Amino acid sequence: MTKIVKTARNTRTLVIRGIVIGAMALLATGCGKKERPKADLAASQVTTIGVNAYLWRASLDALSFMPLLQTDSNGGVIVTDWYTNPKNPGERMKVTVSIVDQDLRADALRVAASRQVSTSGQWVDAPVQAVTVQKLEDIILTKARDLRRASISG
């Protein structure tokens, strides 16, 4: 009876060794491939900075005519200084853009604007039309999408 038990143990040990060696052989053949997956350079999530790079670049491009007061690429905030249009010197604007997500999505972008008008030599706060903010958001989103498309096509 002890001979049967020893034979069963030897058989079991050989089977386990065979399974382990087979698994190791499969893993070793998989590791030998030199082909690596290519990174998607135009992914909607680009995280080399703290926020979506397409939205960040598009925001800077859209606001390039205004003097910048503060930029924080990790926090996704761009604050402009007051800008006076030479064609309308009695009015000035200030814009804050916040990018709140790493995805290229419309709800990842927040734009706030302040407007002042000159009254008797004093700057007085005035309302900003909602369409102005919406139009700036649309410009930034369109530029971001164009940047992404351009990086996909090469």
State how far the Cα of 57 lies from the Cα of 146, in Å rounded to an integer: 11
In the Cβ-directed half-sphere of 55, how many Cα atoms lie within 13 Å?
33
CB neighbours of 95 closer than 8 A, spacing ≥ 6?
A: 63, 66, 78, 79, 80, 83, 111, 112, 113, 114, 136
Phi, psi of 6 (to 5 degrees): -65, -40
Task: Write out pLDDT tens, residues 54-96.
Answer: 999 999 999 999 999 999 988 999 999 999 999 999 999 999 9
Please give the DSSP secondary-structure letter assigned to residue 107: G
Residue ranges per structural domain of the chain: 1-36, 53-153
Domain boundaries 53-153, corresponding CATH code: 3.30.530
Per residue in 9-54, pLDDT tens? 666 666 666 676 766 665 666 555 556 555 455 555 555 678 999 9
Split at pLDDT 50, 70, 90, the class of 152 is confident
Residue 136, pLDDT score = 97
